[in-house]
């Protein structure tokens, strides 16, 4: 069946970061209204509920599967057919990348690169430093943190290569 001590191979979990989501509902309008949304060529009826907050009204989507209110609804294709399901993170079984990976430095480096507007690869080229004083200070701070993250990643990769060479 499976190799001894290995168990069943794990399927990759569906992630929030890679799943398409609906834009936030508009905050203006009636307190409760139904909207028809076309997802994957199929019309689906979704409900928007607006609640009063300190700054005014806040719009929420009502999940069709559990009936709770959420800011974001996600779209997932059904395994059986080509139908697409719209629901909340919990109903669709989505999780965050941080919870499924052990290497948080890689996730932090990717986030910092995205904030800087740099290429997504490890040790890639960075955009030029801005001329504005405040933006330049923020840029310097992010670059220092990125250098620390990528340095720790390079150290981990070096250790992995060293262990691999010792085995062979």
DSSP string across 97-130: HHHH-S-HHHHHHHHHHHHHT--SSTT-PPPPPP
- Paired strand residues for 45: 36
Of the residues 45, 71, 100, which one is the last residue of a structural domain?
100
22 vs 33: CA distance, rounded Å = 16
- In terms of residue numbers, what domain contains 40? 1-100
**Token pair 């150290």 is at which residue?**
155
Instruction: Give the count of domains, the chain.
Output: 2
**Do residues 21 and 62 both lie within one domain?**
yes
**Do residues 91 and 135 both lie within one domain?**
no
Query: The whole model's pTM is what?
Result: 0.61
**Do residues 28 and 60 both lie within one domain?**
yes
Please state at what angle helix 133-167 crosses helix 104-116, rounded to 10 degrees: 150
Residue 7 burial by Cβ neighbours in a 10 Å radius (0-12, 13-18, 19+): exposed
* pLDDT < 70 positions in the chain: 1-9, 78-82, 164, 166-168
The pLDDT tens digits of the residues spanning 25-60 come to 887 777 888 888 888 788 889 999 988 888 788 889
Query: 3-state DSSP call for residue 35?
Result: strand
Q: Are 57 and 72 in contact (CB under 8 A)?
A: no
**Do residues 151 and 134 both lie within one domain?**
yes
Of the residues 74, 100, 126, which one is the last residue of a structural domain?
100
Of the residues 82, 100, 118, which one is the last residue of a structural domain?
100
**Do residues 83 and 108 both lie within one domain?**
no
**Do residues 20 and 91 both lie within one domain?**
yes
């Amino acid at each position: 069946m499976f190799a001894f001590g290995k168990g069943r191979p794990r399927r990759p979990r569906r992630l929030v970061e890679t799943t398409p989501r609906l834009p936030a509902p508009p905050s203006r309008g009636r307190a409760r209204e139904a909207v028809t949304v076309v997802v994957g060529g199929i019309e689906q009826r979704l409900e928007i509920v607006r609640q009063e907050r300190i700054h005014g009204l806040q719009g929420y989507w009502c999940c069709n599967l559990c009936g709770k209110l959420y800011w974001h609804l996600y779209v997932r294709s059904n395994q059986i057919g080509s139908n697409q399901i719209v629901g909340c993170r919990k109903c669709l079984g989505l999780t965050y990348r941080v919870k499924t990976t052990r290497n948080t430095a890689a996730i932090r480096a990717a986030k910092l690169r995205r904030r800087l507007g740099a290429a997504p690869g490890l040790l890639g080229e960075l955009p030029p430093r801005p001329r504005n004083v405040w933006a330049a200070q923020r840029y310097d701070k992010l670059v220092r943190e990125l250098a620390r993250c990528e340095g720790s990643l390079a150290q981990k990769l070096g250790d992995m290569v060293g262990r691999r060479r010792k085995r062979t």
